[in-house]
Structure 1
Amino acid sequence: MPSNDARTLLQTVVPTAAVGVIAAIVSGVVAGGKGALGAAVGTLVVILFMGIGIVVLQRTAKHFPQLFQAMGLMLYTTQLLVLFLFVAAFKDTTLFNPRTFAASIVASTLVWVAAQARAHMKAKILYVEPEPSEARRGEKTGPSA
């Protein structure tokens, strides 16, 4: 993974994990141990799904740059649908509190998307890769040429 991609991943995982910790603490106070577990599981699901999405999107950009934008739109739509299916699948679980699970998924997803947008805005990524120029032998270069 190139350093820009790793930096973007780090800049999105850290705020999402911080929101997950806050959600687990608040859920633990409000709904007890099962609430804290639900919030923690929800945050981990979001980090896992969104992290896999970034890796898939970067591989697509590397091998098929013409598909990058379409793949990004399809990927985010698919991720949101799968997260919705997770909420629906675990709505009646007794392993953890499903309300804190759902709230944590929503909060973590919003923070992930906002942090990813911020990371991309702050990244200094060249749109065009400049080719190295070689000065011809015997030819002067610079302002006095």
Structure 2
Amino acid sequence: MQSNDARILRGAAIVAAPVGIIATVVSALVAGGKGLIGGAVALAVVAVFFGLGSWAVMRLTQDRPQAAMMAGLLVYTVQILVIGVFIVVFSGTTLFSPRAFGISLLVTALSWVGGQVKQTLTSRMLYVDPKPSVPAKRDADLVKTEPGDGV
């Protein structure tokens, strides 16, 4: 994992974790024990799926940085679809409050994405290769005037 990727992942988690905890506490206050369970499940779903999504993007772009946009859009689309599936599947559950689950999931997921965006915009990532593709002029002159060239 590159240091930039770790900073972005950490920045997203630092923003999303308190928001998810607050959403869980509010769910517990509003809907009781079922709200607490719904908020906790939502927090876990966001942590697992968005954490795995970030890991997948990092893994896909490790050797091919030119595929970052494609990988990011693909992973983000899959994440949103999976969250939609979770909301539909658990909409009629009696194990926890579906409303608390849905609202906590939405708020926590949006805060995760917001944390990623904020961290990406404020990080100082190089977007070019710092290694020169052409030798410096001094190195080129040394190559041309090597002893034994008859110059």
Give the TM-score category using the shorter length: 0.7 to 0.9
1:12 corresponds in structure 2 to: 12
For residues 62 and 2 of structure 2, the distance between their equivalents in structure 1, rounded to whole angstroms, comes to 11
Q: Is the 8 A contact 1:57 1:71 kept in 2?
A: yes
1:50 aligns with 2:75: no
In structure 2, runs of 5+ residues without a counterpart are 143-151
2:15 corresponds to which letter in structure 1? P
For residues 69 and 2 of structure 2, the distance between their equivalents in structure 1, rounded to whole angstroms, comes to 19
For residues 24 and 68 of structure 1, the distance between their equivalents in structure 2, rounded to whole angstroms, comes to 33
1:67 corresponds in structure 2 to: 67
Q: Is the 8 A contact 1:12 1:115 kept in 2?
A: yes
Q: What is the deviation of 1:78?
A: 1.1
Q: Matched residue pairs, number?
A: 139
In structure 1, runs of 5+ residues without a counterpart are 140-145
Q: What is the deviation of 1:116?
A: 0.5
TM-score (norm 1): 0.87
Q: Is the 8 A contact 1:23 1:36 kept in 2?
A: no
For residues 6 and 101 of structure 2, the distance between their equivalents in structure 1, rounded to whole angstroms, comes to 28
1:83 aligns with 2:88: no
2:37 corresponds in structure 1 to: 37
Q: Is the 8 A contact 2:14 2:115 kept in 1?
A: no
Structure with max Cα Rg: 2
- Kindly provide the CA deviation profile for residues 33-89 of structure 1, in whole angstroms up to 9, marking residues without a partner as x: 110110111011011111111111111111233322112111111110110000111
TM-score (norm 2): 0.84
1:94 corresponds in structure 2 to: 94
Percent same amino acid at aligned positions? 42
For residues 120 and 79 of structure 2, the distance between their equivalents in structure 1, rounded to whole angstroms, comes to 19
